[in-house]
Amino acid sequence: MFSSPAAQVLNQIAALHRNSMPTYLSFTHPWAGEGDEEAVDVLRQIAIDHKYVVDKIMTPLEAAGQDEHLGNFPMEYTGLHDLSIEYLVRRAVPYQELLIRRLEDLLDGMPDEAAPRELAEESLGLAKGHLKNLQEAVADLASS
C-alpha cells in the first residue's frame, strides 16, 4: 500500500502523536478549578485527535503487515501528575511547537506518494490548529 520509506515516516508521525504530552495527560487527573473547563477540554480534544491520527495511520500500516514501533512516553512526563491545568496548558505550548517542527521535517522527507502525504499533511494541519487552541486557552486562563 505504502512504500517502505513512506511507511517509516508515517510510523514516526504516529509515534509522535501516540507519545505526546496531551496523550499522556489523558491518563492523569490534572487539578482544575472553577472556570478551567475549557482548558481541560482543549487538552482532552487534542488527545482525542492524536488517537485519531495514530489510528488513521496505523490501520493501513498494520493491514499491510508493517511492524508497529511507537515507543513509550518520555520519562519527563511522569512528573506531570496532579499539576494545575493552567500550568499544563502553558507547558503544552512549547511541546506543540516542537511537534509542529518535527512534523514539518518529516513531511519534507516524505516520498512523493499521495496517500501517505495526505495523512502527514492532515496531522500537521491538526497540530497547527491545536497550537492555536492552546494559545487561546493560555490567554483565557491568564485573563480569568
**Amino acid 68: pLDDT:** 75
d(CA 21, CA 88): 9
The set of cell numbers assigned to 61 is 500500516
Alpha-carbon distance of 105 to 75, in angstroms, equals 24
> Going by C-beta distance under 8 Å and a sequence separation of 6 or more, which residues neighbour residue 52?
none
At residue 2, the pLDDT reads: 85
**What would the grid cell of residue 42 be?**
482543549
Spell out the domain ranges in the chain.
4-143
Residue 122 has a pLDDT of 98
Predicted local distance difference test score (pLDDT) of residue 59: 93
The letter for the amino acid at 64 is A
The whole-model pTM stands at: 0.93
Torsion of CA 119, 93, 76, 81, to 10 degrees: -110
Q: What span, in angstroms and rounded, lies between the C-alpha atoms of 57 and 114? A: 14
Assigned CATH for 4-143: 1.20.1260.10
Q: Can you give the pLDDT of all 144 residues of the chain as single tens digits?
A: 788 899 999 999 999 999 999 999 999 989 988 889 999 999 999 999 999 999 999 999 998 888 778 999 999 999 998 899 999 999 999 999 999 999 999 999 999 999 999 999 999 999 999 999 999 999 999 887
> φ, ψ for residue 16 (rounded to 5)?
-60, -40
Grid cell 482544575 in the structure block, residue: 32
Alpha helices in the chain (DSSP H): 4-18, 21-25, 37-63, 85-108, 114-143
